[in-house]
Amino acid sequence: MNDLQREMDQIEKRTRRYWFADGLAEIAAGSAFLMVALYFLLSTVFSRGAPKDALNIVFPVLVIVVVFGARRATHLAKDRWVHPRTGYVSFEPRPRNRVANAVLGAVIAAALAFLASRAPIREWIPALMGLIFAAGFFVLGRKAGMLRFPIAGISCAVVGVLLSIQHMEEDRAAGLLFGWLGLVLIAGGTIALRAYLRHAPPQSDGRSGDGPQEKA
Amino acid sequence: MTPAEGPTGGDIDRLIHEPARRVIMTILYTAVSADFLYLLRETGLSKGNLSSHLSKLEAAGYVEIEKTFRGKIPLTICRLSEGGRTAFRRYRGYLKKVVASMTR
């Protein structure tokens, strides 16, 4: 019986891993993080006046467009390259997961905003953000049984701590941390995509349409 | 046979307990839905065998099957019904109980 449970746990992990097997989701998420990094780095260049105001107005819109665009692009790329090769699996989060994720995100954002307002702690925000990313990657890696996520998480935590030790300007530190995160995700995703395309040749007989016959 | 009744033998759901169907149910419980090609690859069954197992699960009301098209490519999408989800949760709960009683 214990073996049965282990077997089912493995199947669950393998199924969850399928979303990340081709690396496309990581490439999309990495691109989104690079855009966020760009905002913070541009903030250091345009530190005040009209350009800064324009940046602050454009940024939220940009984030929404990039997040939804990345999501849409991931689905389109999967439809084009992944589903015809190894099959289609839908991973839409269930409504209660969406609410839980939104609440968790809001709590983390509120905690960071609170810390940002307290001067002595402010310079440790990159370290804290790095640790939050690391925790997220560890959870993801554990759920999907993938090693590359904890490795990415450790690198984020290390970079976050290093940036905090440097006592760098906040926007620059945030830009560098998000930039690092974006690059790590894109690099991991690209390696995964190459490996996936090498090991999963396209199906030629359109087997996805088979299945139980309709009853008369 | 309704999903609530289930084809049970004692406390265990025999329909789910069959190895190939257990794999199918576990995949569909984890994901929202999966197509025939994915299930074929993951179960390692032949097309005929997989079709037969899916038909049994569909007849029991555990699985819903939708035949559709993605562009010009035919697609057979399978997902667990609410009854199937409940039955699978019950099945896992039973397994956990058995393991717990064995380790006591």
> SS3 string of A94-107?
CHHHHHHHHHHHHH
DSSP H/E element including B88: helix B82-103
Q: What are phi and psi of A92, to 5 degrees?
A: -55, 130
Name the A residues in 32-61 with CB < 8 Å from any B CB.
Answer: none
CB A78 within 8 A of CB A25: no
Higher pLDDT, residue B70 or A204 = B70
* pTM > 0.80: yes or no: no
Q: Is B1's pLDDT higher than 50?
A: no
Size of interface A-B (CB pairs under 8 A): 114
User: Which residues lie closer than 8 Å to A15 by C-beta, 6 or more apart?
Assistant: A89, B26, B27, B30, B31, B34, B42
The pLDDT of residue A134: 92
User: Distance from A84 to chain B by nearest Cα, in Å?
Assistant: 9
DSSP 8-state assignment for residue B7: S
Count helices and strands (H / E) in chain B. Answer: 5, 5
Q: Write down the mean pLDDT value for chain B.
A: 87
User: Which residues lie closer than 8 Å to A166 by C-beta, 6 or more apart?
Assistant: A173
> SS3 string of B31-52?
CCEEEHHHHHHHHCCCHHHHHH
List of chain A residues whose C-beta atoms are within 8 Å of the C-beta of residue B47: 207, 210
Average pLDDT over residues B77-86: 95
List of chain A residues whose C-beta atoms are within 8 Å of the C-beta of residue B55: 212
List of chain B residues whose C-beta atoms are within 8 Å of the C-beta of residue A143: none
The pLDDT of residue B7: 46
The pLDDT of residue A94: 60
User: Which residues lie closer than 8 Å to A122 by C-beta, 6 or more apart?
Assistant: A115, A116, A170
List of chain B residues whose C-beta atoms are within 8 Å of the C-beta of residue A94: 32
| Helical axes B82-103 vs B19-30, angle rounded to 10° | 110
User: Distance from A67 to chain B by nearest Cα, in Å?
Assistant: 22
Among partner residues A79, A203, A208, which is closest to B76 by beta-carbon distance?
A: A208
Per-residue pLDDT of chain A (216 residues; tens, 9 = 90+): 678 888 999 999 899 899 899 999 999 999 989 988 988 888 888 877 777 788 788 888 887 888 888 888 998 999 888 988 999 998 866 655 667 767 777 777 777 666 666 656 677 888 888 998 999 899 888 887 888 999 999 999 999 999 988 888 888 898 999 999 999 999 999 999 999 999 887 765 444 556 666 543
The pLDDT of residue B4: 43
Average pLDDT over residues B73-95: 92
CB A17 within 8 A of CB A76: no
- Per-residue pLDDT tens for B4-50? 444 444 578 899 999 999 999 999 999 989 999 999 999 999 999 99
A194–B contact, CB cutoff 8 A: no
